[in-house]
């Protein structure tokens, strides 16, 4: 048995003892308590630098842990933004003090993070954001509105990008900040999404004072900081996909077809085969990316491939799942757990193709940065932000 097998075996034993009976979305206290236990057992932040509270191990151990955790439903959803995006951004470009202050509590689930990028007028084109940050003594004063912010309701901190200079082109006048979500100027309002639940929020920022030492990266260097976050986001969304077994995936659906006696139908069988092929192809690509990372090859914008394929797979899987289960997945009674899960999966599926950048934006990124194709003509790269037509600014200016 190799060390890695041994590592995976121990992880599995730990999970069996500690994670056998967890609901995927428990109350916050239970989720935090689980994260603390996970951290104390050495399974949170496996690849993160040891000096800031991580385990300092390689992607191979991370992968071994992920494999061990298959079949378990870990209540880690609420920490996803912190682990996948905010934390890695701080580790990459945060100051020494920031890393020492924020990383360990993040990994232990003591502090939850959110990411405040999108605005009503700035989504795909997030660099056209209008939230303003103005310097006042040793602090910045922030005013504006953010939207679609996942887990903001539960969050203790958030990474914010705001405009700090309107006289330069849009990409050059943005700065990234750490915001204390408990600040009195921060108002969080849950938004109900298409699943009927509230996974994201809108946020109003009114004269929020942020100490100058909470700038992440350079003042007016927020765009490159945001790109760092978004690269991590895509890799993390794409590669995190296989962490838990999805209801609309090959295993449970093949079992359901067998149980319901539809496996003999060649059409059903072929749908299952197609799903298997797509799942394996993406799994294997993610595994290859992880091996390359370990060998020192950075995934860079190829994380977008993973994210795009996952978004497609989730839409496809949910769609095909309803076909395999039939009308019951659209109309079911109280106790029909699988049908209910599939119906909810169908209602959640579009989120992956929108959040973290839409499929069109992923294709732009793959074309531009992976294949090196010529960019589209851009009118907004050289014009000072104050003269630019963006989001709702143009209308307001005219009104």
Partner 1 sequence: MRLIPTEEQRELGASVRAFLAETAPMARVRAVAESDEAYDARVWERMAGELGLAGLAIPEAHGGSGAGHGEVAAVMEELGAALTPSPFLASAVLAANVLLAAEQAGDEEAAKDLLPGIAAGTTVATFAVPVKGDPVTRARESDGAYTLTGTVRRVLNGAEADVILVASVLTDEVAEEGLGPLAVFAVDASAAGVARTPLTTLDLTRPQARVELADAPARLVTTSGDALARTLDLSAVALAAGQLGGLRRCLDTIVEYAKLRVQFGRFVGSFQGVKHRLADMHCTLEQAESVVRYAVWAADESPDELPVAAALAQSYLGRAFFQVAKDHLLLHGGIGFTWEHDAHLYYKRAKGDELLLGPPRDHRARLAERLDLIV
Q: Indicate which residues carry an active-site annotation.
A: 233
| Residue located via tokens 């992968």 | 63
- 355 makes contact, choosing from partner 1, ligand FAD, none, with CB < 5 to 8 Å by partner type, with ligand FAD
Site string for partner 1, 332-361 (x = CB under 8 A): ----------------------------x-
Q: Residue 272 interacts with partner 1 (CB under 8 A)?
A: yes
CB of 9 to ligand FAD, least distance (A): 36
- 124 makes contact, choosing from partner 1, ligand FAD, none, with CB < 5 to 8 Å by partner type, with ligand FAD
> CA 143, 149, 154, 159 torsion: positive or negative?
negative
Strand partners, 186: 205
Give yes or no for a contact between 390 and 130, defined as CB atoms under 8 angstroms apart: yes
Q: Residue 223 interacts with ligand FAD (CB under 6 A)?
A: no
Return d(Cα 301, Cα 81) in angstroms, integer. 19
Return d(Cα 107, Cα 48) in angstroms, integer. 9
Return d(Cα 118, Cα 219) in angstroms, integer. 19
CB of 372 to partner 1, least distance (A): 7
Site string for partner 1, 297-316 (x = CB under 8 A): -----x--x--xx-------
Q: Residue 150 interacts with ligand FAD (CB under 6 A)?
A: yes
> 373: which 2 tokens?
């194709």
CB of 368 to partner 1, least distance (A): 8
Q: Residue 338 interacts with ligand FAD (CB under 6 A)?
A: no
Q: Residue 7 interacts with partner 1 (CB under 8 A)?
A: no
Tell me which of 28, 366, 383, 390 binds partner 1, using CB under 8 A: 366
Instruction: Reduce the DSSP state of residue 139 to 3 states and report it.
Output: strand
CB of 392 to ligand FAD, least distance (A): 11
Q: Residue 367 interacts with partner 1 (CB under 8 A)?
A: yes
- 150 makes contact, choosing from ligand FAD, partner 1, none, with CB < 5 to 8 Å by partner type, with ligand FAD
Return d(Cα 386, Cα 218) in angstroms, integer. 21
Helices (H) and strands (E) counted in the chain, each on its own, are 13, 8
Return d(Cα 123, Cα 356) in angstroms, integer. 10
Residues numbered 97 to 116 that lie near ligand FAD (CB under 6 A) are: 114-116
| Residue located via tokens 């800031």 | 52
Q: Which of 390, 385, 388, 387 is nearest to 173 (CA)?
A: 385
Query: By Cβ distance, which residue is nearest to ligand FAD?
Result: 123
Strand partners, 211: 139
**Which residues of this chain interact with ligand FAD, rule CB under 6 A?**
81, 114-118, 123-124, 148-150, 199-200, 351, 354-358, 360-361, 364
């Amino acid at each position: 048995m190799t060390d890695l097998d041994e590592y995976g075996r121990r992880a599995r034993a730990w999970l069996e003892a500690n994670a056998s009976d967890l609901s995927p979305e428990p109350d916050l206290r239970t989720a935090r308590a689980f994260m603390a236990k996970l951290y104390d057992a050495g399974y949170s932040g496996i690849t993160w630098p040891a000096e800031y509270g991580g385990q300092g191990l390689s992607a191979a151990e991370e992968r071994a842990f992920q494999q061990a955790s298959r079949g378990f439903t870990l209540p880690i959803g609420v920490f996803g933004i912190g682990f996948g995006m905010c934390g890695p951004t701080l580790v990459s470009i945060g100051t020494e003090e920031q890393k020492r202050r924020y990383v360990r509590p993040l990994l232990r689930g003591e502090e939850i993070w959110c990411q405040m990028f999108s605005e009503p007028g700035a989504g795909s084109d997030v660099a056209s954001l209008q939230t303003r940050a103005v310097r006042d003594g040793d602090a910045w004063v922030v005013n504006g509105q953010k939207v679609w912010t996942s887990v903001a309701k539960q969050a203790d901190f958030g990474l914010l990008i705001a405009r700090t200079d309107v006289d330069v082109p849009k990409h050059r006048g943005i700065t990234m900040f750490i915001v204390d979500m408990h600040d009195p100027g921060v108002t969080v309002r849950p938004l109900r999404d298409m699943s009927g639940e509230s996974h994201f929020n809108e946020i109003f920022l009114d004269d929020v004072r942020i100490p100058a030492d909470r700038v992440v990266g350079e003042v007016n260097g927020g765009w490159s900081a945001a790109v760092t976050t978004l690269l991590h986001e895509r890799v993390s969304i794409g590669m995190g996909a296989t962490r838990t077994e999805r209801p609309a995936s090959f295993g449970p659906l093949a079992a359901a077809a067998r149980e319901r006696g539809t496996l003999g139908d060649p059409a059903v069988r072929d749908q299952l085969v197609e799903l298997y092929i797509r799942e394996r192809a993406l799994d294997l690509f993610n595994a290859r990316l992880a091996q390359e990372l370990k060998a020192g090859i950075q995934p860079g914008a190829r994380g977008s491939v993973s994210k795009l394929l996952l978004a497609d797979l989730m839409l496809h899987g949910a769609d095909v799942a309803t076909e395999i289960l039939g009308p019951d997945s659209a109309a079911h009674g109280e106790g029909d757990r699988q049908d209910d899960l599939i119906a909810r999966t169908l209602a959640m599926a579009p989120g992956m193709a929108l959040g973290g950048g839409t499929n069109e934006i992923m294709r732009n990124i793959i074309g531009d940065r992976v294949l090196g194709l010529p960019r589209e003509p851009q009118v907004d790269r050289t014009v000072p932000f104050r003269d630019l037509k963006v989001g709702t600014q143009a209308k307001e200016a005219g009104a």
